[in-house]
Amino acid sequence: MSLSMLFGILATMLILSAFFSGSETALMTLNRYRLRQLVKLNNSGAIKAHKLLQRPDRLLGLILLCNNFVNNFAASIATVIAIKLYADEESSIAIAAVILTIVMLIFSELTPKTLASMKPEPIAFPAAWVYTPLLKIFYPLVWLINIFVNVLLRVIGVDVKNKHHDVLDKDELKSIISDAESLMPARYQKMLMGILDLESATVEDIMTPRNEIYGIDLELPIEDITNQIKASPHTRLPVYKTSIDRIIGFIHLRKILILLNRDDFDKQTIINCLDKPSFTPESTPVHIQMQRFKHEKIRIGLVVDEYGDVQGLVTLDDLLQEIVGELITDDVTVTAQNDGSFLVDASITIREFNRVTQWSLPTEGPKTLNGLIIDFMETIPEAGTSIRLHEYRLEILKRDENSVKLVKFLPRK
């Protein structure tokens, strides 16, 4: 053969090597979930690529078989060219091997593989059209190679039948959502994160504590009860006698307000309008409670401990807030300052505080920031006290006899 023909064959081998190297990387780095979506949209290239990837061992066997053949053939051609050009030079073959290695590394390996990793679909889908008939042609040889490979894998203790399926766990899905800033608004990210966290949250995490429950005590004079109803910030109120533990039902303001101005309005009228109370254990998961509200067609319930004592109150709004965030934003519980610090109402739940600040205060113990501080200090700290709470520095700004009211988280270093 003439030198020009040999150089032409060598260039062809380098191009084929680049194709096999790049297409291998492209096919292996395809996003499997996007690929499935394109298959559903009847993209012909995606369909063929998806079918090939059902048996990656066969596909890799075919690609490596072709690539190794091309590379070895290119090395042989380079040797022939070196002998023809430098017949008297003993080092000509070694020089040709070095030059060919550099050329193949740059033009047939790094460049196509880098390009394929950045834009896999435009390379993988056309390549799938090529590999589909090639696999049929070389199937006996590929099958024989895979037999030897599978035997070797069994020898080193790898079960080839135990295939890995593309199944995401919750933490991986959270990571994908957190990385999708450019694909969705931040509020949607928080909603999806809230949904994924539902299984780990209980009604105890989101309930209104017992001491903050706004209800009607039937032991009060009817005038006081009437004023309470008129001034109520809520549409549904628990009705009890003396103590919230002696609750007799819930009242909807829509029912009672139309009766409020009647001359015969009395406590019995209130009792006649009551709905049966619903109780739920404090350890009930949020998603289970949501299903319970839906099944029982109610929107409010009381949270009880193992002794049956009322610990708090949970509403459908509380459950939805766990997903979508604050439904009412009039009362700001976390205020960012210009210096990077935060003024925080200590009654905020730790879960909500973590959601707002993207911090990671522990949620296994106390449910509110006030409870976490008191549990850490083992006392109610005085105003002006500065502490380091789980790697976060804060200062107590306000307190009363029973609890911490306002704290300031200092900027993180």
Looking at the domain assignment, is residue 107 inside a domain?
A: yes
pTM: 0.58
Residues 149 and 28 in one domain: yes
Residues 101 and 231 in one domain: no
Residues 21 and 89 in one domain: yes
> Is 80 exceeded by the pLDDT of residue 168?
no
For the stretch 184-207, pLDDT in tens is 777 777 778 777 777 778 898 888
For the stretch 221-261, pLDDT in tens is 999 999 999 888 888 999 999 999 999 999 999 889 888 88
Q: Which residues of 252-287 are buried (b: 16+ CB within 10 A; e: fewer)?
A: ebeebeeeeeeeeeeeeebeebbeebbebbbebebb
Average pLDDT over residues 127-138: 92
Residues 303 and 338 in one domain: no
> Is 80 exceeded by the pLDDT of residue 219?
yes
Looking at the domain assignment, is residue 125 inside a domain?
A: yes
Q: pLDDT tier at 123 (50, 70, 90 boundaries)? A: very high
Looking at the domain assignment, is residue 164 inside a domain?
A: no
Residues 8 and 82 in one domain: yes
d(CA 41, CA 39): 5
Q: What's the number of domains the chain is made of? A: 3
For the stretch 390-404, pLDDT in tens is 889 999 999 988 889
Residues 64 and 9 in one domain: yes
Which of 324, 359, 388 corresponds to the end of one domain?
Answer: 324
Q: pLDDT tier at 330 (50, 70, 90 boundaries)? A: very low
How confident is the model at residue 358, as a pLDDT?
Answer: 78
Rg (CA), the chain: 35
Looking at the domain assignment, is residue 185 inside a domain?
A: no
Residues 32 and 149 in one domain: yes
How confident is the model at residue 188, as a pLDDT?
Answer: 77
Which of 303, 324, 345 corresponds to the end of one domain?
Answer: 324
**Which of 33-47, 263-277, 316-330 is predicted with the least confidence, judged by mean pLDDT?**
316-330
DSSP per position, 185-212: -HHHHHHHHHHHTGGG-BHHHHSEEGGG
Beta bridge partners of 28: none
Q: pLDDT tier at 408 (50, 70, 90 boundaries)? A: very high
Give the H/E segment covering residue 73. Answer: helix 56-85
Which of 134, 155, 176 corresponds to the end of one domain?
Answer: 155
Say what angle helices 186-196 and 316-324 make with each other, to 10 degrees: 120
Residues 13 and 121 in one domain: yes
How confident is the model at residue 173, as a pLDDT?
Answer: 77
Residues 114 and 89 in one domain: yes
Q: pLDDT tier at 220 (50, 70, 90 boundaries)? A: very high
Longest dimension (CA), the chain: 124
Q: pLDDT tier at 31 (50, 70, 90 boundaries)? A: confident
270: CATH? 3.10.580.10
402: CATH? 3.30.465.10
The arrangement of strands across the sheet holding 236-241 comes to: 216-217, 236-241, 243-252
How confident is the model at residue 112, as a pLDDT?
Answer: 93
How confident is the model at residue 362, as a pLDDT?
Answer: 87
> Is 90 exceeded by the pLDDT of residue 130?
yes
DSSP per position, 270-297: HHHTPBPP-EEETT-BHHHHHHHHHHHT
How confident is the model at residue 328, as a pLDDT?
Answer: 47
> Is 50 exceeded by the pLDDT of residue 147?
yes
Which DSSP category does 30 fall into? S
